[in-house]
Structure 1
Amino acid sequence: MSTTVSSPGTGRRRRLRLGRLPVTLIAGGLILLASLVLAIVPSAFAPYDPIAMDYMAILSPPSWAHPFGTDSFGRDVLARVIHAYTIDMQIAVFATTGPLIVGVIVGALVGYAGGVAEAIFGRIVDAVISFPFLVLVIAIVAVLGPGLGNMYIAVGVIGWVFYGRLVAGEVNVQKRLDYAAAGRAMGYTPGRIIFRHLLPNAITPAIVYWMTDMALAILLGSSLGYLGLGAQPPAAEWGVQIADGKNFMSTAWWISVFPGVAIVITGLGFSLFGDGLAELLRTKK
């Protein structure tokens, strides 16, 4: 029977590698890890059912029994904040992954093709960015009807443009470099040059932006939930909870404040992770 003995320096090397990581990347990663755990198994941490009503505890302030207090229906605010992680982290992923994929593909093709395709794409970008993003999303959701599914459609229709613009600019630069010219000289097809050579070197800004965009997606989802266009009551969602407490700010501030704190912390996690990832990628170049 053989045994594997690790050298004394192995643990030290691992600590050194971890020490080289940006502090923002580590801090953001820890926040996102905790958020993911709460999103996946909220019942393991929530003290009550998020939609269970207790008419004997309506508008109870924070206490040992209800650390975040209760709302106007006697529902435990802490339980609702924890269970809201499931919906809001879902919004962060679903509202941004589709635009990322479409934008990366379209941007890579446009950036490589140039010419008329690039000019047409430029006009589309100008048309989209000339209006506030939130206004466009609200207009589309108002036409399609409230709900998370229609919100994803609205964000997807608009959001891919921003990823496409980033990738198109990077591919436009990369295609002028020597390795791209060498690929064309060797007879590689445009598809192989774009997706096997140019895109891996051009996608980094889009990935970094994706992290920040997830934070913005949570803010967007909460805003639409507050306006009644996103998640619908009695769903546990931070925007819905803030809307539930808007009429009780002077007497039951905890209904809206604690969901707001959760939005800030989760958004900060995505922002820190994105900044740390950008810093890490810059140092590796």
Structure 2
Amino acid sequence: MRPPPINWTFAAGAAILLAAILLAIAPGAFAPYEPTKFDYKAILKGPSAAHLFGSDNFGRDILSRTIWAFRVDLQIALFGTLFPVLFGTLVGAAVGYAGGWAQVVFGRVVDAVVTFPFLVLIIAIVAVLGPGLINLYIAVSTVGWVFYARIVAAEVAVQRRLDYAAAGRVMGYSTARILLRHILPNAITAAIVYWMTDMALCILLGSSLGYLGLGAQPPTAEWGVLIADGKNYMRTAWWISIFPGLAIVITGLGFSLLGDGLADMLRPRR
């Protein structure tokens, strides 16, 4: 038998994210300096052999701070989406299977959430709760589960009308068994693919709030905080903001490629 073709999109995304995870697990093994160590002899030094990504206005090594930021930003990607994907999947499965009034009520909830721009709504919630990562997770979870629930509800509503679901009801299987063991595994593919993209968006959201002072707080090494540190030095010390920005782009690209690869692999074939 001929081996299946390699999905290069999935492989490229997985390679990028594997490297990011390694940097997040053991940043001290790759970072040449402590991320918060001041060196007043190296203030605003450009990229060189001693500081590959240059240094900031306190002499801190940008490469080290960018590497240590992988831990914080991947944590934001995971914890910012974990509750929404779990809770949203369960709610969407229940709503999609029940239909009727449950779907009508849920539709009104979705309309109320999507009426407001997502970023504006998150900023408003974080501004009320106060800056910090915990409040960021609460804000994203409060809103983000709706999108997963909408995806899963639509898929479950289609699956419950198929013959295998009807056969389960005829055989006397419980609703929970039909839904969780038979329908949900066939309906969750779209939510998993969306999850990969949502993690990239969550990193961008966390960096945006960090830039605005509502996410991770200085001196924590986080990409948005690093970009904010360099906003006043773009003409004289561009490296302070550019390299953390590239880290955001590359990590987001990894999640996007992984999501596209999963979509290709999980797409039903004729």
Regarding TM over 0.5, the answer is yes
Provide closer, same or farther for how the CA distance between residues 268 and 216 of structure 1 changes in structure 2, counting only shifts above 3 A: same
Residue 239 (structure 2) aligns with: 254
Match of 2:224 in 1: 239
C-alpha change, 1:34 and 1:284, in structure 2 (3 Å) is farther
Alignment counterpart, residue 124 of structure 2, candidates 139, 148, 159 = 139
What CA distance in whole angstroms lies between the structure 2 residues aligned with 1:55 and 1:115? 67
SS at match of 2:267: helix
Conserved in 2, the CA contact under 8 Å of 1:21 and 1:280? no
Q: Which amino acid aligns with 1:175?
A: R
Q: Does 1:43 align with 2:28?
A: yes
Could you tell me which amino acid in structure 2 is paired with residue 266 of structure 1?
T
Unaligned runs of 5+ in 1: 1-8
Deviation at 1:32, TM superposition (A): 0.3
Local SS of the residue matching 1:229? coil
- 5 Å-filtered alignment, 1:263-282, equals 263-282=248-267
Distance 2:105 2:136 in 1: 26
Is residue 2:54 matched to residue 1:72?
no
User: 8 Å contact 1:68–1:258 — kept in the other structure?
Assistant: yes
Tell me the distance in 1 between the aligned counterparts of 2:128 and 2:113: 18
Q: Aligned match of 1:171 in 131, 156, 165?
A: 156
Distance between the aligned counterparts of 1:123 and 1:31, measured in 2?
39
1:108 to 85, 93, 99: 93
Could you say which structure has the larger radius of gyration?
A: 1
* In structure 2, distance between residues paired with 1:103 and 1:122: 14
- For structure 2, list consecutive stretches of 5 or more residues without a partner in the other structure: none
User: Which whole-Å CA distance do the structure 1 matches of 2:93 and 2:129 have between them?
Assistant: 30
1-structure distance, mates of 2:229, 2:117: 26
What is the TM-score normalised by the length of structure 1?
0.93
Q: Please give the per-residue CA displacement for 1:119-174, whole angstroms capped at 9, x wherever unaligned.
A: 00001111111111111100000000000000000000000000000000000000
Residue 132 (structure 2) pairs with residue 152 (structure 1): no
CA RMSD of aligned residues (A): 1.1
Structure 1 distance, partners of 2:143, 2:267, is: 29
Partner of 2:19: 34
Task: Spell out the pairing of 1:203-218 with structure 2 (5 A cutoff).
Answer: 203-218=188-203
Q: How many aligned positions are there?
A: 270
Distance 1:143 1:27 in 2: 40
Q: Distance in 1 between matches of 2:14 and 2:176?
A: 35
| Cα offsets for 1:191-243 (capped at 9, x unmatched) | 11110111000000000000000000000000000000000000000000000
Runs of 4+ more than 6 Å apart:
none
CA distance, structure 1, for counterparts of residue 9 and residue 79 of structure 2:
24
- In 2, distance between residues paired with 1:171 and 1:43? 45
Give yes or no for contact 1:222–1:230 (8 Å, CA) kept in 2.
yes
Selected match of 1:96 from 75, 81, 84: 81
Query: Which string of whole-angstrom CA distances, capped at 9 and with x for unpartnered residues, describes residues 20-76 of structure 1?
Result: 232110000000000000000001100000000001110001100000000011100
TM-score, normalised with respect to structure 2:
0.98
Structure 1 stretch displaced more, 185-194 or 39-48: 185-194
